[in-house]
Amino acid sequence: MIVLFRNFNSKHSTLIKLTLLIVALNVQDFAQFDSLVSTIGDVPSRTPFEGTMFSSVVPILPRAVNSEVSYPPRLPVGMSVATATSDELIESPSSLSEIAVAKTAPMVDFLYYPCQTYKGNPWSNWGDGVAIQGKYYSSIGDHKAPQGNAFIYEYDSKAKSLRCIVDIREVLNLPGEHYTPGKIHGRLDMGTDGWLYFSTHRGSTKVTTDKFHYQGDWILRHHPQSDQTQIVAHGPVGQQCIPCSVLDPERLIFYGGTVAGDIKDKRNMFFAYDIRLGRLLYSSYNGPARYMIFAKSTGRVYFVPGLSGQLYRYEPGKLSSQIGSKAEIGLRAATLETPQGFVYAVSKEGSLLYRFDTKTEDIMQISSAAIGSQTYITSIDSDPTGRYLYYVPGAHGGSQKDDAAVVQYDTLTKKKKVIAFLHPFLKNHFGYTPLGTFSTAVDPAADKLYITWNGNIGGSRRGRLTWDVCALTVIHIPEGERLPTEK
């Protein structure tokens, strides 16, 4: 069965919903589907999805279990973006019945990332994106090795368009037998110079060797206005991959956490690279594994060796050292500094939520971020006011087990609320199962949350769902769910 929805705006700006129901047993391609649309007859007065509204024609096509994925993935009838809303998005599963849920369902934009024109290993997102002036910058990669590839994208929220702006292999332009990175694993950050900065990471632990001419990974930058991409540094600390990064946008210092190209070397490094001077400022072992805290107000960077422990501080011109506080912190993801001078961090183990005071360097454990069975969170964002935090549990697969819950945490009341359950909504309407994310970002206007998904359209294999396609959702947060009545 195929169910289609189309919305029309009348000249009186009244939204009129026309629901079309078509039954077809063997629709094999969209050309055949288009033919069915053109010959549709009577329209039923009610369908099983009466409460759902779409801004364009959206078929729900049955997909067989273990079906082969056709690349590139695409929405039906030549669509590039689908926009939908439904009370299904705020229907709480029985397993999460005690969790607060938004009263108003959001509008959701859904898109597939371009450049997924072949089978990845798998296509996946690992780096944390950034939202700036109505644009969302994010990354995905094919996870291949030794000749992998990764891409940077710009989403324009006004045009609802998603375009690839950087092709890493094209920029590096290396001989075919040379190593090229299959992932971007650190943050994307915009400098005050108007350039977008990021670093690369390997697709496999076994290929960063002399055999494939490995000399270390890259720091790169892209200028969205001129569409130029440049190599900032190659191998700034030798044969090291760079899965962790953050930028000081004012001082233009790029901070990185590394893993050695040699799989036997388990040490992490920390380094600071001065972009203006084009040289390494500092490096040391016992560096961060996956994330750092950047205090914009002071220019200081904080990290823990590995993923948890006592914080180390680095500020330009000084050696890194432990902070005075003996309190420990888990640091798998962190927000940027809020107007109140706080940075919120979440641990890998137990998804514990911490508040770090950038003025006093005090650490406070404030809550558990989990709402259900999923505890792994790799991206957490504050809205511009510092009042609300947003995140999605189940980063490395499993978010669908908590119905791909998008969580809002109120830092004042210390209460959690789900603003949308994206599963099984995306599965039912687009055939896409969102399995986890490493990238979320709040728009500076505070009205949109961008999420880059690792997901599945091919169905289960050997009893489990695997990543095969990356997609983007834009959650339009209703005013009543983000403008607090409590002061």
Are 8 and 146 members of one domain?
A: no
Q: What is the spatial distance between Cα 429 and Cα 405, in angstroms, rounded to a whole number?
A: 17
User: Does residue 486 form part of some domain?
Assistant: no
Q: What is the spatial distance between Cα 433 and Cα 424, in angstroms, rounded to a whole number?
A: 7
pLDDT one-digit tens code per residue, 103-131: 999 999 999 999 999 999 999 999 999 99
Q: What is the spatial distance between Cα 184 and Cα 201, in angstroms, rounded to a whole number?
A: 5
* 126 to 143, 266, 316, 441: CA distances (angstroms): 10, 20, 28, 14
* 187 to 126, 197, 381, 440, 467: CA distances (angstroms): 9, 8, 12, 11, 21
Tell me what the mean pLDDT of segment 241-248 comes to: 98
| In the predicted structure, residue 18 carries a pLDDT above the cut 80 | no
Tell me what the mean pLDDT of segment 271-277 comes to: 97
pLDDT one-digit tens code per residue, 371-394: 999 999 999 999 999 999 999 999
User: Does residue 53 form part of some domain?
Assistant: yes
Tell me what the mean pLDDT of segment 420-425 comes to: 98
Would you state the pLDDT for residue 436? Answer: 98
Answer with the one of 19, 35, 62 that is the final residue of a domain. 62
User: Does residue 5 form part of some domain?
Assistant: yes
Are 68 and 45 members of one domain?
A: no
User: Does residue 402 form part of some domain?
Assistant: yes
Are 261 and 341 members of one domain?
A: yes
User: Does residue 35 form part of some domain?
Assistant: yes
| In the predicted structure, residue 409 carries a pLDDT above the cut 90 | yes
Are 183 and 36 members of one domain?
A: no
Residue 351 neighbours by CB under 8 Å, 6+ apart: 368, 369, 370, 375, 376, 377, 393
Answer with the one of 62, 87, 102 that is the final residue of a domain. 62
Instruction: Give the predicted TM-score (pTM) of the model.
Output: 0.89
Are 247 and 237 members of one domain?
A: yes
User: Does residue 209 form part of some domain?
Assistant: yes
Q: What is the spatial distance between Cα 78 and Cα 354, in angstroms, rounded to a whole number?
A: 45
pLDDT one-digit tens code per residue, 351-369: 999 999 999 999 999 999 9
pLDDT one-digit tens code per residue, 35-84: 333 333 333 332 333 345 554 434 444 444 557 899 999 998 788 999 99
Tell me what the mean pLDDT of segment 165-171 comes to: 98
β-pair type (268-274, 279-285) = antiparallel
Are 239 and 369 members of one domain?
A: yes
* 230 to 116, 312, 319: CA distances (angstroms): 23, 31, 30
Contact of 206 with 263, CB cutoff 8 Å: yes
Under the banding of pLDDT at 50, 70 and 90, the label for residue 322 is confident
Sign of CA dihedral 108, 109, 110, 113: negative
What range does the domain containing 249 cover? Answer: 63-481
Are 375 and 415 members of one domain?
A: yes
CATH code of residue 86:
2.130.10.10
pLDDT one-digit tens code per residue, 181-211: 999 999 999 999 999 999 999 999 999 999 9
User: Does residue 487 form part of some domain?
Assistant: no
Would you state the pLDDT for residue 9? Answer: 33
Are 181 and 287 members of one domain?
A: yes
* Amino acid of residue 381: D
Q: What is the spatial distance between Cα 434 and Cα 356, in angstroms, rounded to a whole number?
A: 31
User: Does residue 411 form part of some domain?
Assistant: yes
∠ at Cα 391 (270, 359), nearest 5°?
A: 55
Would you state the pLDDT for residue 64? Answer: 45
pLDDT one-digit tens code per residue, 80-103: 999 999 999 999 998 998 999 999
The number of domains in the chain is 2
Are 255 and 331 members of one domain?
A: yes
Are 15 and 154 members of one domain?
A: no
On average, the pLDDT of the chain sits at: 88
Contact of 391 with 346, CB cutoff 8 Å: yes
Answer with the one of 34, 62, 90 that is the final residue of a domain. 62
Contact of 20 with 40, CB cutoff 8 Å: yes
Are 404 and 278 members of one domain?
A: yes
* Amino acid of residue 97: S
Q: What is the spatial distance between Cα 184 and Cα 139, in angstroms, rounded to a whole number?
A: 7
Are 295 and 373 members of one domain?
A: yes
